[in-house]
Structure 1
Amino acid sequence: MPIQNTDISRIFNHIADLLEISGANAFRVRAYRNAARTVEDQSRSIVKMLEDGEDLAELPDIGKDLAEKIAEIAETGTLEMLDELEQKVPGELSKLLEIQQLGPKRVATLYHELGIESLEDLKKAAEDEKIRELEGFGKKTEQKILKELKRVQDSAKRTKLADAEQIVIPLCEYLQKIDGVKQVTIAGSYRRRRETVGDLDILVTCKKDSTVMERFTGYEDVTEVIAQGKTKSSIRLRSGLQVDLRVVPEVSYGAALYYFTGSKAHNVAVRKIAVKKNLKMNEYGVFKGKEDDEERVAGSDEEEVFASVGLAFIPPELRENRGEIEAAQEGCLPVLIDRSDIRGELHAHTHATDGRASLQEMVEAARSLGYSYLAITEHSQAVTVAKGLNRKRLEKQIEEIEKLTNEYGGFRILKGIEVDILKDGSLDLPDEVLAKLDFTICSVHSHFNLSADKQTERILRAMDNPYFNILGHPSGRLINEREAYPLNMEKIMKGAKERGVILELNAHPDRLDLNDHHCRMAKEMGIKIAINTDAHSTDGLNNMKYGIYQARRGWLSKDDVINTRRVAELLKFFKR
């Protein structure tokens, strides 16, 4: 079966979890976490790089030993070291780390004191009120664990968009090569670019004698054939994703694509419009006339489907029944931002802190993407685990950036910092240092458990600082891993509007923070957005597309986003 980058990353993270629970050396644990992140950040298939004879040991944070382990995973699908670890520490224990209240030491305590080895064991112990009796836990922690268990259970049903993309794109490429296949399109929530997806729907048009169904169910990554027919088949992949394939006639392709893209709420609302026009609308087309004498009036492409009910074409990302139908009727749909509109990156790290590339390597990567500027925004000193910069190290980096900028005509390296918002709302570095920078990104990286009122006031107090320019990953959430911290987002946005603060849409596929609702709220309030990748490697810069997807779902246009501007205009946004 094909080994994806996500498979290798998952194994390395699993090893790190088990090592941490067993009390292994922190540097050893971090080595596996860093390697997992390097693998996940690669835009190319690691296995393909291996097959092409590339030396994986040259990748950041890999080295000879981990390169050999990657080769073992590529060949066998697993790792002998992991098997040995799971004999010492039950493998299911690592899933307990998905619970926010549990770190490695607490997981070890639960294992040794109560014999808890799985999420099911944890739930039973919490329901039986046994956890509160352990030293360092208590009743409140036990209740929070029960709440978190529900979140983890719900999130397990959906796959992050970027992970789904790594799995389904090779499958589509495989289908496209089959004789007789014409069109292959992924529909559903994936096409609407939701941040997580459930089952995947693929639509195909092909010749009558095509073997696409047999080849689909025979795909090498299939672990279960759920159903197989002439026009529809369902499979389950090794990742757990269910994929449904539908063969549709070309005359119905647009109608089927529209129908299976959804959302359900959007489709229902548009069908009501069709009914008022005495039309019938389904996955086969749009029809007029009585059932025994129907005439197809649309169906071959989506544009004519929309036109048949008097609507302008609505981009898939907007099809959530949140006002897009009314906007289409009134001719005022937004011109959504496109990846080509982005002129530069405003949030990137180098190996001066926790990045995995040098300053020059990041600059070269940004230039190769056609950008005209790149901002270097290392962590500040409060983030000790990332080797955050203190005043002295930041001033030294400022000098390095100014020196390197002079070597690149027509390309600007912006001087920035991702400065921590401390618990009391102050910033992690003094104003006289921040004044030397082009701008700052200010982020919360600690004290997530404050009440909504205290967290909101903390951020607003920080915004009062005249050197506060961009609020980084505003809600702090990690998709399927950590909920947003309690926050009054409307109050935060009003404060940002009053102070001229920009909000970040962090494009890292684990964050996508702001969410689509908050993007639209910011647009309606007239607050500018910076779409940033938070890149920690050269490949990390390629995550910009996920930020664009999220921005489009939030109705953002080119004018709503500051890094669609040239440098001179961009810098005006940082003058408060």
Structure 2
Amino acid sequence: MIREEITAMFDSIADILQIKGEDPGKVKMYHNLAITISYALPDEIRSPFDYELLSNVRGIGPATLEKIAELVNTGKCQYYEDLKASIPAGVMELLSISGVGPSTAARLYQVLNIDSLEALQKAIDEQRLQGLKGMGKKTEEKIKLGLEALLRHKKLRLMGYVLPDALALVDCLASSLPACRNISIAGDLRRKTETIRDIQIVAVCPDASDIHAALRNTGLITNIHSDWTESGGSATLAGDVNMEFKLLDAKDFGAGMVYFTGSESHIKELNARANQAGLEPLSWPSPEWTKGRSEEEIYNSLELPYIIPELREGTGEISASVSGKLPKLIETADIRGDLHIHSTWSDGHQTIQAMAEAARNLGYEYIAFCDHSVSSKIANGLDIERILNKMIELREINEKVGGIEILMGAEVDILKNGDLDYPDEILEKLDVVIASIHSGFNMDEASMTKRIISAIENRFVHILGHPTGRLLAKRDPYLANMDAVIEAAAENKKVLEINSYPDRLDLKDTHIRKAKEKGVKMVINTDAHSISDLNLIKYGVYTA
């Protein structure tokens, strides 16, 4: 079990208690426990739970230890399960809406009896939210937009969280099914698209019942559906992710991997070339000319070089391949460092030294610690006195830890007027200044664009952090003219960040392409808050 699962449980307990209107002191206690645990526990906690991990941590008593041990050892905590059962499940779902916190959810539930997303939609349509004290038309509109975004993205899953489980499942099936060959991920997930609706698995397997039995034994599947035939079927992966299995004859595997991987636009372009060559279009079942051929051979038959899955989007890769201009994609092995790391100085979970040593073990040449600035109160942002003290500590650690250059940086908030929240005399002392927006998302496009460009024009800023502010499947990008932002970055020779965090992947691929065309430099960072987060760099690489 990972640490974040444990801290999420204690935060959820606090949220439910607040929604139920219980003692604010108790609510605060559970939130504080989540924070304490996030700093005290390692990234991964194994069963049986080792009480010594927290036995000497201030604020962690026997009752808390028992809750953690029960969760780690059994996968559940009965107190938490009982608490969840005490309110309608839909009430907790309200917290998934951008702009709705526990206090707002509590008022919606207690005063207006809103216990589901559907009930909230009805109340908004009837303008009943405006009747709540302190909640006018502007707040209602903000919640309405948040609800619309949530419903729009509700069935989407984030590639960065689904891919590890999908790969683990494929490994389990491959090792337990010697009669089945060439088990592989296809579809959106193979193309590494930022969000997916379902997982497609293509396999050469003579007997569907073998797949059934193996799926039950993986521990990763929560439901095997009743739609199975000899050609495949579906199942549900843990996390409520739908999976579609395509069982093929060996001679159809190459065609299946082409057809079930490419986007609709990509396949349409391939079929235009097939038509020109007098070949049947790619479809399913596969046409005769593809049988027995590998993916590479099928592309070659259309007078194309092999096109890697990540490029099969129908966005110009066919014409680029014809003219010999397919790009050489960056790989994780090309990464030399990470310029956006947080430490325990702000809201990170590990010290500067621990993070630096972990980065050195990854073979990195440099790493920059960009903890939050003073305005980010919720993230323990550093005031001027603390950032000066951090500079001293970082200098000492740089002398102690060899084999990697440790840079002093800050992730500085861009205020609503476009100013940064550190004075120039602090900014000029930093090796790396990342300017980011962490609040005030609901500005109109012109104002937000002006705000961002003002930060880009600041002579001390090096990087614009997570430039669009989106949280995938949860919060839409803030309104900004990204063409103008990219143009400003080009004119001022500033760097745009490709944030690797699975929830962000910001910049997105289309903006990356535009930035590259304008000659704007980009940097792939993790925004890591723990040692394990350093491994998220691959998702930024996939996006780039």
- TM-score clears 0.5: yes
User: Which residue in 2 is equivalent to 1:333?
Assistant: 326
Distance 1:236 1:497, change over 3 A: same
Structure 2 unaligned blocks of 5 or more: none
Question: Out of 110, 129, 137, which is 2:127 matched to?
Answer: 129
Q: Give deviations 1:294-336, integer Å, cap 9, x for gaps.
A: 5x35653211111110112212112111111110111101001
User: CA offsets, 1:88-135, max 9 Å, x none?
Assistant: 544432211222232222222212211111212111111222222222
59 and 148 in structure 1: CA distance in 2 versus 1, 3 angstrom threshold: farther
| Larger mean Cα displacement after TM superposition, 124-133 or 264-273 | 124-133
C-alpha change, 1:7 and 1:430, in structure 2 (3 Å) is closer
Amino acid at match of 1:506: N
Q: SS of the residue aligned with 1:14?
A: helix
* Residue from 497, 501, 507 that aligns with 1:508: 501
Q: 1:213–1:228: 8 Å Cα contact kept in structure 2?
A: no
SS at match of 1:200: strand
Residue deviations 1:490-522, cap 9 Å, x none?
111111111111001111111111111111111
Alpha-carbon distance, 1:7 to partner:
6.4
After TM superposition, give the deviation of residue 142 of structure 1 in Å: 2.8
Give matches, 1:166-565, under 5 Å: 166-177=164-175, 178-206=177-205, 211-216=210-215, 220=219, 221-282=221-282, 296=289, 299-551=292-544
Q: Which stretch shows the higher mean deviation, 447-456 or 9-18?
A: 9-18
Preserved CA contact (<8 Å) 1:357 1:538:
yes
Q: Distance in 2 between matches of 1:111 and 1:421?
A: 35
Any conservation in 2 of the 1:286–1:299 contact (CA below 8 Å)?
A: no
The secondary structure found in structure 2 opposite 1:461 is: helix
- The alignment covers a number of residue pairs equal to 537
Distance 1:16 1:363, change over 3 A: same
Q: Distance in 1 between matches of 2:208 and 2:158?
A: 36
Is it true that 1:31 corresponds to 2:33 in the alignment? Answer: yes
Q: Runs of 5+ in structure 1 lacking a partner?
A: 288-293, 552-576
Q: Is the 8 A contact 1:126 1:146 kept in 2?
A: yes
Is the CA contact (8 Å cut-off) linking 2:304 and 2:321 kept in structure 1?
A: yes
**RMSD, aligned CA:** 2.9
Partner of 1:17: 15
Deviation per CA, 1:403-462, whole angstroms, max 9, x where unpaired? Answer: 222233442001111111112211111111211111211111111111111111112112
Structure 1 residue 262: deviation in Å? 2.0
Give the SS at the match of 2:368.
strand
Identity %: 36
Greater mean alpha carbon deviation, residues 507-516 or residues 76-85:
76-85
CA displacement, residues 456-505 of structure 1 (integer Å, 9 cap, x when unaligned)? 11121122221011001111111122111111111111111111110011
Conserved in 1, the CA contact under 8 Å of 2:256 and 2:286? no
Q: Take 1:209 and 1:160, find their aligned partners in 2: how far apart are those partners?
A: 29
**CA–CA separation in structure 1 for the residues paired with 2:7 and 2:328:** 37
Give how far 1:274 is off.
0.5
The correspondence for 2:77, drawn from 56, 79, 97, is: 79
Three-state SS of the structure 2 residue aligned to 1:466 is coil
Q: 1:9 to 1:105 in 2, by over 3 A?
A: closer
Aligned CA distance change for structure 1 residues 381 and 474 (closer, same or farther; 3 Å) = same
Counterpart amino acid of residue 317 in structure 2: E
Change in CA separation of 1:550 and 1:20 when aligned onto 2, cut-off 3 Å: farther
Q: What is the distance in 2 between the residues matched to 1:161 and 1:67?
A: 33
**CA contact under 8 A between 1:377 and 1:441: conserved in structure 2?**
yes
Specify the code of the residue in structure 1 equivalent to 2:184.
T
Note if contact 1:227-1:235 (Cα within 8 Å) is conserved in structure 2.
no
1:299/1:127 Cα in 2 relative to 1: closer, same or farther (>3 Å)? farther
- Contact 2:526–2:537 (CA under 8 A) maintained in structure 1: yes
Contact 1:180 1:210 in 2 (8 A): no
Verify the 8 A CA contact 2:414 2:452 in the aligned structure 1: yes
The TM-score, its normalising length taken from structure 1, stands at 0.86
Q: Aligned with 2:184: secondary structure?
A: strand
Equivalent residues of 2:228, 2:234 under 8 A apart: yes
**Could you list the per-position Cα deviations for residues 263-321 of structure 1 after superposition, in whole angstroms to 9, with x for gaps in the alignment?**
1111111112111101124367975xxxxxx5x35653211111110112212112111
Give the drift of 1:77.
3.9
Paired position in structure 2 for 1:571: none
Cα separation, partners in 2 of 1:392 and 1:138, compared to 1, 3 Å:
closer
Q: Which whole-Å CA distance do the structure 2 matches of 1:61 and 1:152 have between them?
A: 38
Question: Which residue, 50, 65, 68 being the options, matches 2:47?
Answer: 50
